[in-house]
Amino acid sequence: MKQKEGNKKGWSNSVKKIAIGAAVVLISLGGVAAVEKAQSSTDKSSTEKSVDSQEEKMKSEAIQQEEKKDQSSIHKNEEQEEPNQSLQEKENQAENSVEPNQSIEEAAKQQNKSIPDMKAEEEVKEKEEEEVKEKAQEKAQETEEKKETKPRVDEEEKADKENKEEKKQENVSSSSENKQEQASAQQSGNQTTPSTPELPTAPSNEENQEEKVVYLTFDDGPSTHTQEILQILDAHNAKGTFFMLGPNMKRFPEATKAIVEGGHEPALHGVSHDAHQIYQSKDTVVGEMKEAQNDLYHLTGVRTNLIRTPYGSVPYMKPEYLEAVHQNGFELWDWNIDSLDWKYKDARYVNGVIHDVETKSFKEPVILLHDKQTTAQHLNDLLDYLSAHGYKMKPLDDTLPVVHF
């Protein structure tokens, strides 16, 4: 009995041990499986992350390509819009215009407009085109005139500056020269006269039958040489016209009065003799002439409306300037013979005037001269020739037809 109970206890212990061992084995297997499952889960997560990263990169690249395509498309659309716009404008212009072979009635019908409206629009367009053409022609003409006259004006301005420098030097030495001349005259007891050149033969009787007239005009005075010029004119029974500057009239009041008292014609040449000042506007032109007019009146009691603008009316006197001087009662004179005494400071100007008087078909030559020393030195030669050939030398007046360029 005791042995059976011992065997039962031993069997029971063996079963327990086996059960415990089996349990340990099962637990071990479960742990390995869990580890493998965890590792598998980790690998899977890593793989999934890698895949997700690649997918995100591909998506980013795809988005960038789409953006580039969109920008390219926008540029293309803009480029296409510009010609489309210009085409649209042309179409609009075409719709609002009449074709060469299309009548106004047909065009009005096509554009859903009334015939009077279409005619009015066409007249406006034609008028605008004519105005554009006229302005272009006027501009081209002004440009051509400036090209032709600019060299002459430039030379005159240069000569004018040189003349001013000469006057400064003359003023310095004028007092000593006058004293020397007086002493020389007292010693010799004879008055010196300008030399007379060889003149052509005397004119025929037929030449003397018809009166021939020339008009001698002197610019830029009065000066220290005005009295000498007046003496030469008186010796030939000649009268001249003196276009004077305001400051010079005030500087040489006696010479200004002598011009009026001698029966010559006083006239106006402005104040500044500077193209940059007088030609700023129509008001500056008129203003300088009025100032010179007042200077003459205060000195002599004489008022004149005869004027000559510095360097002549071309190219500086614009149409509105000309209109302004006329509205203010002035009479503008140019010349038809330029002596070039402003350029040639010797007797060459005399030969030039004689040539022009004899060869040009001017009925009444208006000769440009200047109130200066070199002109006075050779003026007697010119007047000798004109007198010998039957020319009368008269002053300008407001009854004569005005000479313009």
What residues does each domain of the chain span? 212-393
The number of beta carbons lying within 10 Å of the beta carbon of residue 390 is 16
Identify the pLDDT of residue 169. 63
Rounded distance, CA 341 to CA 156, Å?
10
- Bridge partners (DSSP) listed for residue 241: 217, 265
User: Does pLDDT of 132 surpass 60?
Assistant: yes
Instruction: State the average pLDDT over residues 213-229.
Output: 98
- Bridge partners (DSSP) listed for residue 266: 242
Identify the pLDDT of residue 128. 82
The number of beta carbons lying within 10 Å of the beta carbon of residue 155 is 13
Angle ∠(222,227,230) on CA atoms, nearest 5: 100
Q: Which residues contact 260 (CB under 8 A, 6 or more apart)?
A: 266, 300, 302
Question: To which H or E segment does residue 84 belong?
Answer: helix 2-95
pTM of the full structure: 0.56
Mean pLDDT of the residues in the chain: 77
Instruction: State the average pLDDT over residues 53-57.
Output: 60
Rounded distance, CA 196 to CA 176, Å?
27
Q: Which residues contact 366 (CB under 8 A, 6 or more apart)?
A: 214, 215, 217, 333, 334, 335, 336, 337, 396, 403
Identify the pLDDT of residue 17. 65
C-alpha torsion sign, points 195, 197, 202, 208: negative
Identify the pLDDT of residue 137. 74
What are the E-state strand segments in 69-221? 212-221
Tokens representing 292 are 């010179």
Q: How confident is the model at residue 361 (pLDDT cuts 50, 70, 90)?
A: confident
Rounded distance, CA 315 to CA 152, Å?
10
Rounded distance, CA 327 to CA 116, Å?
41
The number of beta carbons lying within 10 Å of the beta carbon of residue 287 is 16
Angle ∠(218,222,223) on CA atoms, nearest 5: 110
The one-letter amino acid code at 97 reads S
Residue owning tokens 């009005």: 108
Q: Which of 9-18, 64-73, 226-235 has the highest mean pLDDT?
A: 226-235
Q: What percent of the chain has pLDDT over 90?
A: 46
Q: Would you call 370 a catalytic residue per the annotation?
A: yes
User: Does pLDDT of 302 surpass 50?
Assistant: yes
Side-chain half-sphere exposure of 131, counting CA atoms within 13 A:
6
User: Does pLDDT of 141 surpass 80?
Assistant: no
**Coil, helix or strand at residue 361:** coil
More confident residue, 47 or 209: 209
Domain 212-393 fold: TIM Barrel (3.20.20)
Give Cα 320 distance to the centre of its chain: 17
Q: What is the CA radius of gyration of the chain?
A: 54
Check 264, 273, 370, 378 and give the catalytic one.
370
Q: How confident is the model at residue 96 (pLDDT cuts 50, 70, 90)?
A: low
Q: What is the pLDDT of residues 76-95, one digit of tens each?
A: 555 555 445 555 555 555 55
- Closest residue by Cα to residue 241 from 278, 263, 222, 216: 216
Helices and strands (DSSP H and E) totals, the chain: 12, 8
The number of beta carbons lying within 10 Å of the beta carbon of residue 312 is 22
**292 — phi, psi (to 5°)?**
-65, -35
Q: What is the DSSP letter of 198?
A: -
Identify the pLDDT of residue 35. 41
Q: Would you call 219 a catalytic residue per the annotation?
A: yes
Q: What is the pLDDT of residues 167-197, one digit of tens each?
A: 666 655 555 555 455 544 454 444 444 444 4
Check 219, 295, 334, 341 and give the catalytic one.
219
Counting Cβ atoms within 10 Å, is residue 8 exposed (0-12), middle (13-18) or buried (19+)? exposed
The number of beta carbons lying within 10 Å of the beta carbon of residue 90 is 10
Rounded distance, CA 115 to CA 155, Å?
60
* Alpha helices (H) along 96-114: 104-110
Identify the pLDDT of residue 36. 53
CB 244 within 8 A of CB 397: no
